[in-house]
Amino acid sequence: MDEFQIQGTVMAKQRCFLSFTSLLLLLIVFLAGCGGPQSNGNTKAGNGMIDTLDGGGFGGGDNPQVNYNPFLSNALLPGVNYLYEPLMVEDNYSCKVQPWLATGFKWQDPETLIFTIRQGVKWSDGQPFGPDDVVFTLNMMQKYPALDTQGIWQSLNNVTAQGNQVTLKFKGPSVQVFERLLQQAIVSKHVWEKVSDPVTFTDPKPVVTGPFTVDSFNQEQLVLKRNPNYWQADKIKVEHLVFHKAGSIQVEQLKLARGSYDWNAMFVPNVQQAYIARDPKHNHYWFPAGGEISLGMNLTKAPFNDLAFRQAMAYAINRQEISKKAEFGYVQPASQTGLSVPGQSSFIPSDIPNMGIFPFDQQKALNILTQAGYTKNANNKILGKDGKPITITFLVQNGWTDWIQAAQVIQANLNALGLTVNVQTPSPEIIESRRKAADYDMLFSVHGGSCNMYDTYNYLNSRVDPSVNYLHFKDPAVDKMLDQLQQALTVDEQKKAVSQLAEYSYQNFPDVPLWYGAHWFEYSTKRAVGWPDANNPYCQPGDILLVITHLKQSLE
C-alpha cells in the first residue's frame, strides 16, 4: 500500500491531479443510484477462515508478465511481498522491530551485527530454511550488484554463519544500515544457486517462506493461495488473495466505490462521499502520516539564513488551511522536530510542547521579526535588514496541483504578513537543477516518514552532496549528532541521539515542516476485521506481513 517513504527532493510521490474530480464524483453518485455496494463474489470459507480477499492492482507495467523475483522492480507487486520474507519486520508506524525469520539481533559493536535465525521454518517445497540461506542471499547480492537495491554492500564487508547465528561485518560504523536490511527478502539457496543469471531470472515457480504461494496468473489477475507450510500458519485466516491489472486511476476509484475491493491504497477525492457513504457500516479509511512536506528556504542567502526569520515562518503559515484547500482535509500539520507524529512521538524530547507542531499565529510571527530588527514601510511591507522590501520567489513543480494550491495558501499568508511572495511553476527538472545550485528563494522540501532515523536527518549532513543536503545546510554540531546516531547500538542510545536532532530541528528551523504526505488506505470490514486504524495503529497500512497476520473473519 502506497507510502510516502520520502527521501531527497523529487520524490516517488503518488501524484493525483484533480482536474477530473467533479466528473468522478458525478459518476460515483450515478453508480450509487444503480443499487447498493457491488459484491466481488468473495465468500466465507467457514471454520473461521475467509475464502478470498481482493487487494486491488498489481505491478508489472502495461504488459505484466510472470515475475516473482523479489530483487526486481518489475516484479508482480504487491504479490511478491506475501511470498518472500525478511529477517525482521518493522512496524513503520511506531518503528518497533518484531522478530520474523530471525528471532533476534544484536549489535556487538558499531561494525558487527548478529542475527539469530529462527529454527523450524520450512520453504514452501518442504526444505528447511536456515542460516545458509541468509548468507547465500547476501553474498549473491555482492556477486550481482544489480540485486543490491538497498545498497547494503556499500557498507557490508562480509557475512558468515555459525550455528543458528549469522554475523555481518561492516566496513565502518553502520547502524543506519539496519532498516535497509529489514527490507531485504531472503531467498532459498537450494533453488537460487542453480540460477545462471539471477538478475534476469523471473522466478516462475517461487519457493518461499511467506504466508502465501502462487496459485494462478493470467496477465489480468494474480491469485495467491495460503501456504500450508508457513511457520505461523495459525495466524493466516485468508485462503486466497486476489490482485488485478490496474486500470486508470478514475476506473480504480470507481471500482473501490462500488465495493470491488476489500482494501486498497489510493487517493480518492471526497472519500467520505465517494466511499464511506456507499457502505457506512463496513467501509473505512485511515490516512496516517508519512514524510514531511516542508517550506525549504535557501540557507545561503538573506533573509533565510536568519534564524529569527525562519522561526517567524513557522508561525506565519496556516497549516490547517493548506490541509483543507490543497489536500481535501486528509493530512495533518507536521512537527518541527522532523518526526512523523503521533507514531514517532516517543522519540520527541518531553520538553517540546504539542509534539513540536506550531500554531498559526501571525501576530507572533510579526513580533519575532520586529524583535529581530525587521521593520515595515509606509505600505505595510516588511523590510529586510538592508532596508529594502522583502520579495520572495517560491518555486513549485509544474503540474503538481496540490502543491501549487498549498503554495497559493502560503503566498496569501505571507503577503498578509507584509512579505511579497511570487509563485512560479517551472518543470520539476528545472527546480531540481536550481535547488542543487542554490539558485532559489523558497521551495518545498520533503524528508522523513521513515523509521531509518539516520536517513530522516541526513538531509542536514553538510558532508554529503546537494542531492541529499538540498537546503545547503551546514552545522558541524549536527554532523556530530549524526555520527552519534550512526554508532548508537541500543534502542535507548538511538532515541537519545534522535532526540538531540529533534530538539535541534525544533530550535533552529533548518526548514519549516507544514504537512504530512498521507499513506492512503481504504478497507472494508465486510469479510475481514483486524485492519490497522487510528484506534489500533499496530503498524502502517503498508506493513503487509503484520496486517495479514492480524486479519480475522468478520462475524457480521
Residues contacting 378, CB < 8 A, separation 6+ = none
Give 415: exposed, middle or buried? Use CB within 10 Å, 0-12, 13-18, 19+. Answer: middle
The sign of the dihedral angle between the CA atoms of 186, 143, 172, 73 is: negative
Provide the β-strand partners of residue 293: 446, 515
Q: Dihedral sign, CA of 97, 99, 101, 104?
A: positive
Q: What is the pLDDT of residues 485-525, one digit of tens each?
A: 999 998 899 999 999 999 999 999 999 999 999 999 999 99
Describe the chain by its helix, strand, coil percentages, rounded to 5.
30, 20, 45
| CATH 3.10.105.10 placement within the chain | 289-518
- CATH 3.40.190.10 in the chain is located at 21-68+211-288+520-553
Identify which of 166, 165, 92 has the alpha carbon closest to the alpha carbon of residue 135: 166
Q: Which of 56-65, 280-289, 453-462 has the lowest mean pLDDT?
A: 56-65
What values do phi and psi take at 234, rounded to 5?
-65, -20
Each residue's pLDDT tens digit, 345-401: 999 999 999 999 999 999 999 999 999 999 999 999 999 999 999 999 999 999 999
Give the number of other CB atoms < 10 A from CB of residue 83: 25
Query: What pLDDT shows up at residue 246?
Result: 86
- CB crowding 37-76: b at 16 or more within 10 Å, else e: beebebebbeeeebebbbbbbbbbeeebebbbbbbbeebb
Measure the CA–CA gap between 274 and 276, rounded to whole angstroms.
7
Residues 460-476 pLDDT 10s: 999 988 888 888 999 99
Confidence of residue 45 (pLDDT cuts 50, 70, 90): low
Query: Which of 255, 281, 525 has the alpha carbon at shortest distance from 268?
Result: 255
What cell numbers appear for 545 in the block?
A: 506481513
Pairing of strands 112-117, 156-162: unpaired
- Predicted confidence (pLDDT) per residue in 139-154, tens digit: 999 999 999 999 999 9
Mean pLDDT for the stretch of residues 33-38: 34
pLDDT one-digit tens code per residue, 530-547? 999 999 999 999 999 999
Q: What is the CATH number of domain 88-192?
A: 3.90.76.10
**C-alpha 254, offset from chain centre:** 25
CATH code: domain 21-68+211-288+520-553 is: 3.40.190.10
**Range list for CATH 3.90.76.10 in the chain:** 88-192
DSSP string over 161-188: EETTEEEEEESS--GGGHHHHHTPPB--
Residue 549 confidence class, pLDDT cut points 50, 70, 90: very high
Query: Would the pLDDT of 5 be above 50?
Result: no
* 192 vs 41: which has the higher pLDDT: 192
- Look at the block and give the residue holding cell 488485478: 244
Looking at residue 49, what is its pLDDT?
Answer: 95
61 against 452, higher pLDDT: 452
Does residue 22 register a pLDDT over 50?
no
Residue 65: partners with Cβ closer than 8 Å, 6 or more residues away? 202, 219
% the chain with pLDDT above 70: 92
Q: 289-518 is classed in which CATH architecture?
A: Roll (3.10)
Q: Say whether pLDDT at 479 is over 80.
A: yes
Mean pLDDT of the region 108-137: 97
Q: Which secondary structure element, helix H or strand E, spans residue 535, and what is its range?
A: none
Helix (H, G, I), strand (E, B) or coil at 234: helix
- Please identify which residue in the block is written with the cell numbers 496541483: 401
Average pLDDT, the chain: 91
Give the number of other Cβ atoms within 10 Å of residue 210's Cβ.
Answer: 25
Asked if the model's pLDDT at residue 9 lies above 90, the reply is no
User: Region 208-237: what's the mean pLDDT?
Assistant: 96
What is the per-residue pLDDT for 35? 34
Concatenated DSSP letters of 10-52: S--------TTHHHHHHHHHHHHTT-SPPP----EEETTEEEE
